[in-house]
């Protein structure tokens, strides 16, 4: 089968801790060891459904919907990054995407909470109530999405997501690799790992980066949870078909 590799993102991301400085609501940003994420991939596969957006009317409706809904989202940045083409999964509200999260106790400094950190990240995206849901399953062979671990990347990154799409821009499978250590050796704590997982699952769903530093999809992740703008952006993405808009 012919496959064309299409690099779609080259990124660095960091995670900063938002730490209470005293037992009040006053908070400030406090740097913790940098967590970086790089997503690359996007392998085009032959279309398997007759949903190619060669229908100009469909394209115009999608463009209008994006224009109407773009306030409070970073969809315009993603369109710029992708040359006006959006990738996402097909709607499958009844059949969840199955996810297997590896346990890797043989890795130095492995934290048994990491698996739950990743599972909770998938649940957080599920809570947005998209037309796609996730289900963590124990059997790797049956899972569509694999989350695996390495000690550290050779580059200053801590996570990487790859997905494949068909030639109509529908994402058909994906995988995530997370590192236990930063390139320089610091260990990611449980909350930093969840933040990284939230960011990588955002890529898996079809999101790209935003220059807004307060978003989970910022290249340097400062937040620990999805924001209203993250949620509005993914909802808007899943309100239109995948594919080029021009
Ligand atoms: Zn990223």
Selection from 182, 174, 176 nearest residue 158 by Cα = 182
Cα of 131 to ligand 1 centre, how many Å?
22
CB atoms within 10 A of CB 122: 23
- What pLDDT, on the 0 to 100 scale, is given for residue 47? 53
What does the pLDDT read at residue 220? 82
What pLDDT score was predicted for residue 221? Answer: 85
Question: What's the CA-to-centroid distance between 152 and ligand 1, angstroms?
Answer: 16
The pLDDT, as a whole number, for residue 45 is 57
- Residue whose pair of structure tokens reads 């594919």 in the numeric block: 243
pLDDT for residue 24: 27
Contact of 101 with 115, CB cutoff 8 Å: yes
| Domains within the chain, CATH numbers bracketed | 4-17+29-244 (3.40.390.10)
Q: How far apart are CA 221 and CA 200, in angstroms?
A: 11
**What is the rounded CA–CA span in Å between residue 201 and residue 188?**
17
Q: What distance in angstroms lies between residue 128's CA and the mean position of ligand 1's atoms?
A: 20
CA of 142 to the centre of ligand 1 (A): 27
Distance 42 CA to ligand 1 centre (A): 14
Per-residue pLDDT of the chain (246 residues; tens, 9 = 90+): 444 434 333 333 334 333 222 222 223 333 333 445 555 445 555 554 445 545 788 899 999 999 999 999 999 999 998 888 999 999 998 999 999 999 999 999 999 999 999 999 999 999 999 999 999 999 999 999 999 999 999 988 889 999 999 999 999 999 999 999 988 899 999 999 999 999 999 999 999 999 999 999 998 888 999 999 999 999 999 999 999 988
pLDDT of residue 170: 95
Question: Which pLDDT belongs to residue 12?
Answer: 34
Longest CA–CA span in the chain (Å) reads 59
Closest C-alpha to 99, from 52, 153, 138: 138
């Amino acid at each position: 089968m012919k496959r064309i590799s299409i690099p779609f993102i080259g990124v660095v991301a960091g995670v900063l801790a938002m730490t209470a400085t005293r037992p009040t609501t006053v908070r400030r940003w406090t740097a913790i060891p940098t967590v970086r994420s790089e997503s690359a991939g996007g392998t085009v596969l032959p279309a398997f459904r007759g949903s190619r957006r060669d229908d100009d009317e469909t394209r115009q409706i999608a463009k209008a919907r994006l224009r109407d809904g773009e306030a409070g989202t970073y969809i315009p940045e993603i369109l710029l990054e992708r040359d006006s083409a959006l990738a996402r999964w097909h709607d499958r509200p009844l059949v969840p995407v199955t996810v297997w999260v590896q346990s890797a106790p043989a890795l130095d400094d492995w934290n048994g909470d990491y698996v739950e950190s990743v599972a909770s990240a998938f649940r957080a995206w599920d809570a947005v109530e998209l037309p796609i849901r996730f289900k963590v399953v124990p059997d790797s062979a049956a899972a569509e999405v694999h989350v695996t671990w390495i000690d550290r990347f050779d580059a200053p990154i801590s996570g990487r997501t790859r997905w494949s799409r068909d030639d109509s821009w529908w994402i058909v499978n994906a995988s995530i690799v997370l590192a236990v250590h930063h390139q320089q050796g610091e260990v990611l704590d449980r909350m930093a790992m969840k933040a990284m997982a939230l960011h990588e699952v955002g890529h898996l769903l079809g999101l790209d980066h935003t220059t807004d530093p307060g978003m989970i999809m910022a290249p340097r992740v400062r937040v620990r949870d999805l924001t209203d703008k993250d949620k509005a952006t993914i909802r808007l993405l899943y309100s239109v078909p995948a594919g080029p808009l021009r």
